[in-house]
């Protein structure tokens, strides 16, 4: 089993990935729900970060600094930096505050200076707001965003023909790497007899709202 399938199995076991009927922000009735915020203890965050590290290394992306957007990206970027260091890839990391400090070190950035090629570490991309703010911060610091890493790509259309992930790739010219995608989830469901009843509903949702992946 590759790391993408292992990640989905892990997300299901942690009840982070659930099946049933869930209403999305767009008002769609989804047969599955993914909430990365439920990786909320030390062991699950550590394991999640190991999957991020594997996906980053597998992508072959050239990175100088890791960046975690406040607030969800802060524990993710710190844990991912530790997981990469254990794999022999020790990278500096930084994150931002929502409110800039006017004392101490000041400013809105904490951690390593942003320089060179910066990878944004986040949980998911829905509206792309977090990525846009991160790109602006990185460029303002004189560095270059080189990509985004997320846990799950829902591969779902937004208001137009493209998904939120594809819009980010188009608008900023940077790749989005996902630990797993909706297609990986469908492959996983097809192999699990205890979950196979959900496969048809997820496949139908993919057909109605999904986007093709180049």
Where in the sequence numbering do the catalytic residues fall? 101, 103
Three-state helix/strand/coil letters over the chain: CCHHHHHHHHHHHCCCEEEEEEECCCCCEEEEEECHHHCCCHHHHHHHHHHHHHHHHHHCCCCCEEEECCCCHHHHHHHHHHHHHHCCCCCCEEEEEEEEECCCCCEEEEECCCCCEEEEECCCCCCCHHHHHHHHHHHHCCCEEEEEEEEEECCEECCCCCEHHHHHHHHHCCCEEEEEEHHHHHHHHHHCCCCHHHHHHHHHHHHHHECCCC
């Amino acid at each position: 089993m590759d790391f993408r399938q292992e990640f989905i199995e892990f997300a299901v076991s942690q009840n982070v990935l659930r099946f049933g009927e869930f209403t999305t922000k767009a008002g769609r009735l989804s047969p599955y729900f993914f909430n990365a915020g439920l990786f909320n203890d030390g062991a699950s965050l550590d394991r999640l970060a190991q999957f991020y590290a594997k996906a980053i290394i597998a992508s072959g992306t050239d990175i100088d600094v890791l960046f975690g957007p406040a607030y969800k990206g802060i524990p993710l970027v710190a844990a991912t930096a530790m997981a990469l260091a254990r794999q022999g890839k020790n990278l500096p990391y930084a994150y931002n505050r929502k409110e800039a400090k006017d004392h101490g070190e000041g400013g809105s950035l904490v951690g390593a200076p942003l320089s060179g090629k910066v990878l944004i570490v986040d949980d998911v991309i829905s509206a792309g707001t977090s990525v846009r703010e991160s790109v602006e911060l990185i460029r303002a610091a004189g560095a270059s965003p080189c990509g985004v890493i997320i846990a799950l790509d829902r591969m779902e259309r937004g208001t137009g023909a493209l998904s939120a992930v594809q819009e980010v790739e188009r608008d900023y010219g940077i790749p989005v790497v996902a630990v797993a995608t909706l297609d990986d989830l469908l492959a996983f469901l097809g192999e699990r007899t205890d979950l196979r009843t959900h496969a048809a509903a997820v496949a139908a949702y993919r057909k109605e709202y999904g986007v093709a992946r180049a």
